[in-house]
């Protein structure tokens, strides 16, 4: 079921400063910031040869990552996104296995314009997993 690692998402409290760290200290290629108010984040991508790292800064009061940063003020690793071929088939298999899908169980359109689901970290050894149909 699991396909490519689409991205690894890191929450940061100060996106401009984090971009500077990745660009200058780590010598990586970083995209321009994109505000995604419907997801409550501003995002940049660190482009790597085989996948990407997504740096997320909270945007607005409803941000999904504000609670994470309240617990981890310096920032930290937030989730891993895996690609799947068929997100409905993946969801149904997960539910039959007893795993919990966050929200109402229906895929929503994610930050990349594709259907996504998030899985409960308590069912996956403390790691928040996003599935994206590509």
Contacting positions for its own copies (CB under 8 A): 1-5, 8, 10-13, 18, 21-22, 24-28, 46, 48-51, 53, 55, 72, 74-77, 80, 82, 93-94, 97-99, 121-127, 129
Q: Do residues 100 and 20 lie in contact, with contact meaning Cβ atoms separated by under 8 Å? A: no
Least Å distance between CB 133 and its own copies? 15
Measured from the CB atom, is 38 or 76 closer to its own copies? Answer: 76
Measured from the CB atom, is 38 or 86 closer to its own copies? Answer: 86
Dihedral angle over CA of 21, 128, 4, 32, nearest 10: -30
Catalytic residue among 54, 57, 130, 132: 130
Least Å distance between CB 14 and its own copies? 8
Beta strands 29-30; 76-84: pairing state: unpaired
With CA atoms as reference, report the closest residue to 59 among 103, 13, 118, 22: 13
- 130 is known as an active-site residue: yes
Least Å distance between CB 44 and its own copies? 12
Measured from the CB atom, is 38 or 88 closer to its own copies? Answer: 88
Q: What is the DSSP letter of 32?
A: P
Q: Do residues 82 and 67 lie in contact, with contact meaning Cβ atoms separated by under 8 Å? A: no
Residues 90, 107, 39: CA angle, nearest 5 degrees: 135
The residues that are catalytic are 130
């Amino acid at each position: 079921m699991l396909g490519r690692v689409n991205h690894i998402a890191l929450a940061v409290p100060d996106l401009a400063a984090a971009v500077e760290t990745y660009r200058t200290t780590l010598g990586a290629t970083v995209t321009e910031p994109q505000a995604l108010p419907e997801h409550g984040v501003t995002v940049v991508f660190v482009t790597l040869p085989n996948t990407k790292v997504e740096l997320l800064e909270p945007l607005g009061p409803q941000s999904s990552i504000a609670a994470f940063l309240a617990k981890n003020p310096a920032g930290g690793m937030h989730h891993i996104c895996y690609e799947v071929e068929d997100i409905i088939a993946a969801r149904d298999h997960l539910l039959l296995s007893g795993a919990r899908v966050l929200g109402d169980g229906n895929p929503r359109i994610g930050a990349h314009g594709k259907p996504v689901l998030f899985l409960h970290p308590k069912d996956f050894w403390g790691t928040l997993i996003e599935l994206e149909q590509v």
